[in-house]
Amino acid sequence: MHKVAVLGSTGSIGTLTLEVLSHLGQDYKVVALSIHKNVKLLQKQIEEYSPEVVCITDELSARSLHIRGTKLLTGREGLVEIAKGEADIVVNALVGAEGIYPTLSALQSKKRVCIANKETLVSFGEIVMNTARKYGGEIVPIDSEHSAIHQCICISRDEVVEIILTASGGPFRVSGIKKYITPEETLAHPVWKMGKKVTVDSATLMNKGLEVIEAVRLFSVPPESISVLIHPQSIIHSLVRFRDGAILAQLSLPDMRLPIQYALTYPKRTPSLVKPLDLAKVHLLEFDLPDKEKFPCLSLAYKAVSIGGTMPAVLSASDEVCVRSFLKRKITLPDIPEIIQKVMNKHRVIENPVLQEIEEADKWARRETSELVRLLNL
Ligand code: MG
């Protein structure tokens, strides 16, 4: 039996993970949950899954939880304690750079980390992969594109010459990001129902840019070997081209419950909750190149990963502040790449940074970005 900890259990990936775990049945037991603030939903999850321990990272919210028989932890220390604890699989569905601490602790304890926490791989990717190698921990991606690549690459890893990440193109695939577009229009994604941050990132294509960086880290390939292909139907979740010219792809209906389950059960495959794909009903699969002028965020991400060192963390942190400011209507969509570009230009890169240096670069980028947002609002 596998013991599973779900970090970020009330978010969109977290709730789907619990659904998948219920479906997988008695071979998987939920032993720990963590949340930031949503105590009401956590209370329900505790009743349903009876974890031995829960962590609430927002200490103020922790005071409003009333439970018996379940151990309550708080803050970053709580996340780390859960990661080191009883679970042999840790699902990291946290949002933000804070996810690095439980990731490293779980890997040091030789566990499998099913990772949906983008910032962990974008900002700290090299440290994460080195830690996994050093201690014998395992990183399995949850993101649909990386899951697809992982599934294709298992067959003959050394012969890979190109990774092709597919992108739905988001709601502004045709128009590009324009000044007049509102947060409401941006949050209405045509294919995937996701959290707010990743939905805005999908509209600017920054999400794909972050995924390029993740792929560089996860699969140890240079950025030049990764390309992006617009595929509005989101049926092909990514492709891998091998030395002999053969391309393998993974296809399924766009439903995160499949990559989540695969990350949990890999290398096994078991029946899932996802409806079977009927290609005759899909009828048409379209492909196109991304328009780099309409979506400058994509090139910024390639630039950040090529420069390396602390630059990907700066890109990611600056983007986080920009997205929040956009949702508060302080800046427009086209301001996002402009501000990030300015912050990147100003950054003095540290090569081969240690964890603290990345955190400092992250904080610096947040301050610089907030200042630029403030100036725009004068
Ligand atoms: Mg994705």
Q: What is the pLDDT of residues 2-28, one digit of tens each?
A: 999 999 999 999 999 999 999 999 999
Over 90: is that where the pLDDT of 273 sits?
yes
312, exposed or middle or buried, with CB in 10 Å at 0-12, 13-18, 19+?
Answer: buried
- pLDDT for position 157: 77
What pLDDT does residue 194 have?
77
> What CA–CA distances, in Å, run from 375 to 179, 339, 346?
17, 11, 16
Closest CA to 6 of 185, 14, 219: 14
Distance 144 CA to ligand 1 centre (A): 5
pLDDT, residue 97, reads: 86
> What is the pLDDT of the chain when averaged over all its residues?
96
Q: How far is the CA of 174 from the centre of ligand 1 (A)?
A: 20
- The pair of three-digit structure tokens given for residue 311, joined into one six-digit string: 């630059």
- Helix, strand, coil % over all residues of the chain, rounded to 5: 50, 15, 35
Ligand 1 geometric centre to CA of 256 (Å): 9
Q: Give the 3-state secondary structure of residue 207.
A: helix
* Averaged pLDDT, 68-91: 96
Indicate whether 315 pLDDT > 80.
Answer: yes
Q: How much distance in Å is there from the Cα of 211 to the middle of ligand 1?
A: 7
| DSSP secondary structure letters along 25-50 | GGGEEEEEEEESS-HHHHHHHHHHH-
Task: Report residue 111 as tokens.
Answer: 């566990």
Q: Can you give the pTM of this predicted structure?
A: 0.95
Residue pair 112/95 in contact by the 8 Å Cβ criterion: no
Report how far ligand 1's centroid is from the alpha carbon of 146 (Å). 7
Q: How far is the CA of 110 from the centre of ligand 1 (A)?
A: 26
Checking if the pLDDT of 155 tops 80, the result is no
Please state the rounded mean pLDDT for residues 76-94: 97
Ligand 1 centroid from CA 145, angstroms:
5
pLDDT at 237: 98
Q: What pLDDT shows up at residue 158? A: 82
Q: How far is the CA of 50 from the centre of ligand 1 (A)?
A: 31
Q: Is the pLDDT of residue 104 over 80?
A: yes
pLDDT tens profile 26-75: 999 999 999 999 999 999 999 999 999 999 999 999 998 888 889 999 99
What's the 48 CA to ligand 1 centre distance in angstroms?
Answer: 29
Check pLDDT > 90 for residue 280: yes
Model pLDDT, residue 193? 73
pLDDT digits (tens, 9 = 90+) for 331-367: 999 999 999 999 999 999 999 999 999 999 999 999 9
Distances (CA, A) of 173 to 169, 182, 279, 289, 335: 5, 15, 23, 11, 18
Quote the pLDDT of residue 268: 96
Helix H, strand E, coil C: the string for 222-269 is CHHHEEEEECCCCCEEEEEEECCCCEEEEECCCCCHHHHHHHHHCCCC
Residues 216, 49: Cα–Cα separation, whole Å:
36
Mean pLDDT confidence for 149-157: 88
